[in-house]
Amino acid sequence: MRIIVLAKQVPDTRNVGANAMNPNGTINRAALPTVFNPEDLKALEMALRVKNQMPNTTVTVITMGPPRAEEIIRDARNRGADDGFVLSDARFAGSDTLATSYALAQAIRSAGDFDLVFCGRQAIDGDTAQVGPQIAEKLGLPQITYAEALESVSEQEIVIRRRLEQGVETVCAALPVLVTVTSAAPDCRYPHAHRLLRFAKTPVEVRNADDVQPDFARLGLAGSPTKVKKVDNVVLAHKDNVHLEPTEDNLNEMMKNLINEHII
C-alpha cells in the first residue's frame, strides 16, 4: 500500500511576538518560529497506524513551501515516514487555496500510484479547511473529512470515525480515498532516536513547478482568485461588566443579546 501525507510548515501561533505582522498586514514569517501544522501531525500518525497494520506500506510526505520546509520532511521521516519531498518554487508564491490544492494535486499525480491521502483538516495559519477537499475533487477521489480515529483498514477499504458537531459517524470507503484529520485524533508519536541518527545526513528531495507539469496559469498569484483586501488587528478586550440577577427572564434576554451580537 502507498500512502501520501500532506503537511504544512506553519508559523507557531502559540508563540507570536510583537513583530509578527508587517505594517501592510501581511505575515512577517521571518519573525515567527515554525512548527509542523498540528492537525497534519495527526494525519501523519493516522498514516503510520495504517502502515503498522498493513505490511509493505510506504508513507510519502509532501509539503509545499520555502526550502526550509524540508524540516517538515525530516521530522516526518524521524517519526516513521519513508520518504517525501518539498514542493518549492517562486512560481507558487501567493497561492490561495485553489492554487495550492491544484499544485498539490499535481504533486500527488507526479508521485505515482497511491491508495490513501491523509491531510490535516486545516492549517493554524489560514484556518480554511479547503485544501484537503479541493485536492480530493481535483484528483476525483471520495473524501472523508473530520476523521478522529482509524477503525480498520484493508487493501480494499478503510473505516473511519468522524467527529461531527452533534456526535460521531463511522463511515467506510473503498480505496483510494482522501482523509482529512481533526485535532480530536490521536497525537503523533515522537521521533525515534535511531531514525534521528540514521537520517541526519540524508538529503531531502526538492521538486519545482516544472517537475509536476502544471498549467502555469493556475499557479501562484495568477491562479488565485482570492485577494486579501485588508487585514485588521483585532484586540479583544472586555469593555464593561453587566450584573444580572439569575432569573429566567434575565437569562433569556442575555442569550438573545449574545446571539444578536454573533457571540454565540
Partner 1 sequence: MNFYTDNESLSFYLHHPEMVEIARLREKDFAEAGLHPEAPANAEEAIEQYDSVMRLLGEITADVVAANAEEVDHEGPHIENGRVVYAKGTQQNLRTMINAGLYGMTLERKYNGLNFPRVLAVMAGETIARADVGFATIWGLQDCADTIQQFASDELKEKYLPRIYQGATCSMDLTEPDAGSDLQSVRLRATFDETANCWRLNGVKRFITNGDADLHLVLARSEEGSTDGRGLSYFIFDRADGGLTVRRIENKMGIKGSPTAELVFTNAPAYLVGERRLGLIKYVMSLMNAARLGVGSQAIGLCEAAYREAETYAASRQQFGHPINQFVAVQDLLRAMRARTDAARSLMYETARLVDRSATSKPASRIADILTPLVKLMASEFSNQNAYDCIQVHGGSGFMKEYACERLYRDARVLSIYEGTSQLQVVAAIKGIANGSYLKRIEEYDQQVAVGQLTDQQQQLLSMLRQSTESYRALYEKATANGSTDVLFEHNARALTEVLAYTIMGYLLLLDSQRDMRYVDSCDYITRHALGESAKALAMMA
How far, in Å, CA of 197 to CA of 132, rounded? 33
Complex with partner 1: residue 113 or 190, whichever CB lies closer: 190
Q: What are phi and psi of 4, to 5 degrees?
A: -105, 135
Question: What DSSP string describes 85-99?
Answer: EEE--GGGTT--HHH
- Using a 10 angstrom Cβ sphere, with 0-12 exposed, 13-18 middle and 19 or more buried, the burial of residue 147 is buried
Considering only 14, 194, 227, 229, the residue that binds partner 1 (CB under 8 A) is 194
If binding is defined by CB under 8 A, does position 198 make contact with partner 1? yes
Complex with partner 1: residue 190 or 228, whichever CB lies closer: 190
Within the chain, how many helices (H) and strands (E) appear?
6, 11
If binding is defined by CB under 8 A, does position 33 make contact with partner 1? no
CB of 68 to partner 1, least distance (A): 18
Report yes or no: 6 and 117 within 8 Å, Cβ to Cβ: yes
Considering only 18, 30, 174, 200, the residue that binds partner 1 (CB under 8 A) is 200
Per DSSP, 262 falls in state T
Complex with partner 1: residue 200 or 263, whichever CB lies closer: 200
Neighbours of 171 (CB within 10 A): 15
If binding is defined by CB under 8 A, does position 193 make contact with partner 1? yes
If binding is defined by CB under 8 A, does position 82 make contact with partner 1? no
If binding is defined by CB under 8 A, does position 260 make contact with partner 1? no
Contact window for partner 1 (CB under 8 A) among 81-89, 163-171, 183-191, 225-233: 183-191
CB of 55 to partner 1, least distance (A): 19
Contact window for partner 1 (CB under 8 A) among 39-47, 59-67, 118-126, 191-199: 191-199
Spatial CA neighbour of 169 closest among 155, 178, 156, 182: 182
Tell me how far the alpha carbon of residue 52 is from its chain's centroid: 22
CB of 157 to partner 1, least distance (A): 28
CB of 1 to partner 1, least distance (A): 22
CB of 229 to partner 1, least distance (A): 39
CB of 47 to partner 1, least distance (A): 16
Report yes or no: 12 and 32 within 8 Å, Cβ to Cβ: yes
If binding is defined by CB under 8 A, does position 197 make contact with partner 1? yes
71, containing H or E segment: helix 70-79
Beta bridge partners of 27: 21
Report yes or no: 119 and 43 within 8 Å, Cβ to Cβ: yes
CB of 175 to partner 1, least distance (A): 28
If binding is defined by CB under 8 A, does position 189 make contact with partner 1? yes
Which residues make up the interface to partner 1 (CB under 8 A)?
189-198, 200
